[in-house]
């Protein structure tokens, strides 16, 4: 079987462009929480030298002079677009591994001549474009690493290869590897690049020719496995289920400083509810809750505190987690304090149903069904369609600043675009 890696070009920007045609052909930046930094850049923005993570305040003149379009991050939209392009992939393969928000591996058969199925790969690209509007490219290879390298090469040579490169072709592989920098290989960071340089390893061809045992000495078993995969020796199992988190955190800066205990309780409740939702998504329960609230240490009246409690028995019920997070606020609050950020962390995660029970705790037999129903409704009709009263109602001043967020085009009925 062939490893195929599909990658969406500039995913956040492309998702925005699907529903807003005026963004096409102009420099676009998608911004981080709080609208502080660039976390996604269109090709036009990159051409102006905008770096990943560049602060917006340092680019004001550039943005104004060249007509940049700015958008706040719209994670609800991006998650739904991810679901949509993976649904298209599932029409061509029953083995899919979601690697990230904009990348997925899937399996295709090897053809009788030993090459990858580029015809089907091109059909996947066309179908994703037709059904979702997203531009993609695909790398094919006998191993994950080779498909990842092929994907990068397809990006660099899209006009020549049409968005698909197949590295089952050994001659093509040798030819392309000679000019592909080693730091472009998946898993080779800056520090490892510097360790490889004195050994004369500057290209992917050099790395592929490296002795695997020497690779282990230089970069542990991780680099050894990478070298072997560049030579078609790799794991064949598809890891469809991602590895579960051992802990999770939800932290956010406030859009405006918080100066009342009621606002801080609501802000903490929202973060606690989201953290509980995240561990339910992977079927886990938490045995430990940490809550914190911080102020800006450079300003007067800035306060900072943290509290921890055990959850016994371990739980993923939003009601319980929000209740204890709210009690932490009562303990942390300082009269006259000014807070700019709060968050919760859930630790000691284990699979639901395998947790250590509490002999003296009351058993809520309906809690799991209630949470499952709430999650299903929110997934279908949009975030916080059903929410706990402790979270407050509607937008609040402390919500993370996202002043330039596009509508929830695909997940909220009231925001679906209407043709006139």
Helix, strand, coil % over all residues of the chain, rounded to 5 = 40, 20, 35
CATH number of 11-74: 3.40.1170.60
| Residues 292-301 as b or e (16 or more Cβ within 10 Å = b) | bbbbbeeeee
pLDDT at 58: 93
User: What CATH number does the domain located at 2-8+77-230 have?
Assistant: 3.30.70.270
Angle at which helix 75-89 crosses helix 11-19, to 10 degrees, equals 90
pTM of the entire predicted model: 0.75
Parallel, antiparallel or unpaired: strands 284-294 and 350-351: antiparallel
pLDDT at 397: 65
In angstroms, the CA 141 to CA 1 distance is: 9
> What pLDDT does residue 265 have?
93
The structure tokens listed for 395 are 């937008």
Give me the average pLDDT of each 10-residue run along the chain (420 residues): 94 95 94 89 95 93 95 91 95 92 94 92 96 96 93 82 90 92 90 92 94 90 90 63 77 86 93 95 94 77 85 94 95 88 93 79 79 89 85 72 82 76
Q: Which of 243, 289, 288 minimizes the C-alpha distance to 268?
A: 289
At 417 the pLDDT is: 74
Query: How many of the other CB atoms lie within 10 Å of CB of 330?
Result: 11
CATH class as words, domain 248-391? alpha beta
Taking the domains of the chain in order of start, what are their residue ranges?
A: 2-8+77-230, 11-74, 248-391
Structure confidence at residue 400 (pLDDT) = 67
């Amino acid at each position: 079987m062939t490893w195929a890696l599909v990658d969406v070009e500039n995913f956040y920007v492309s998702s925005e462009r699907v529903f807003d045609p005026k963004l096409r052909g102009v420099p676009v930046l998608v911004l981080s929480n709080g609208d502080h930094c660039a976390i996604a850049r269109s090709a036009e923005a990159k051409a102006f030298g905008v770096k990943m993570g560049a602060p917006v305040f340092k680019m004001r003149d550039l943005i104004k002079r060249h007509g940049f379009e700015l958008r706040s991050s719209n994670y609800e939209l991006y998650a739904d677009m991810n679901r949509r392009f993976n649904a298209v992939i599932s029409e061509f393969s029953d083995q899919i591994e979601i690697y990230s928000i904009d990348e997925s591996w899937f399996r295709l058969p090897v053809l009788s001549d030993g090459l990858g199925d580029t015809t089907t790969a091109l059909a996947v690209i066309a179908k994703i474009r037709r059904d979702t509007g997203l531009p993609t490219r695909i790398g094919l290879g006998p191993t994950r690493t080779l498909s990842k390298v092929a994907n990068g090469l397809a990006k660099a040579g899209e006009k020549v290869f049409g968005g698909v490169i197949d590295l089952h072709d050994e001659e093509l592989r040798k030819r392309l590897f000679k000019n592909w920098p080693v730091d472009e290989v998946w898993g080779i960071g800056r520090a490892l690049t510097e360790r490889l340089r004195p050994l004369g390893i500057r290209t992917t061809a050099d790395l592929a020719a490296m002795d695997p045992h020497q690779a282990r000495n230089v970069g542990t078993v991780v680099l050894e496995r990478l070298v072997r995969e560049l030579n078609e020796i790799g794991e064949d199992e598809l890891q469809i289920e991602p590895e579960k988190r051992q802990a999770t955190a939800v932290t956010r800066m406030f859009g405006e400083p918080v100066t009342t205990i009621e606002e801080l309780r609501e802000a903490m409740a929202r973060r606690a509810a989201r953290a509980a939702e995240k561990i339910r998504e992977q079927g886990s329960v938490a045995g430990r809750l940490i809550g914190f609230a911080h102020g800006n240490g450079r300003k007067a009246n800035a306060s900072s505190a943290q509290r921890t409690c055990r959850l016994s028995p371990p739980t993923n019920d939003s009601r319980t987690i929000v209740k204890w997070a709210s009690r932490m606020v009562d303990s942390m609050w300082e009269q006259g304090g000014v807070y700019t950020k709060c968050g919760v962390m859930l630790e000691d995660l284990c699979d639901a149903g395998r947790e250590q029970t509490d002999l003296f705790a009351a058993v809520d037999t309906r809690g799991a069904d209630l949470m499952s129903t709430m999650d299903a409704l929110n997934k279908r009709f949009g975030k916080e369609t059903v929410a706990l009263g402790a979270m407050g109602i509607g937008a609040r001043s402390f919500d993370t600043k996202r002043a330039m967020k596009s509508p929830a085009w695909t997940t909220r009925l009231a925001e679906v675009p209407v043709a006139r």
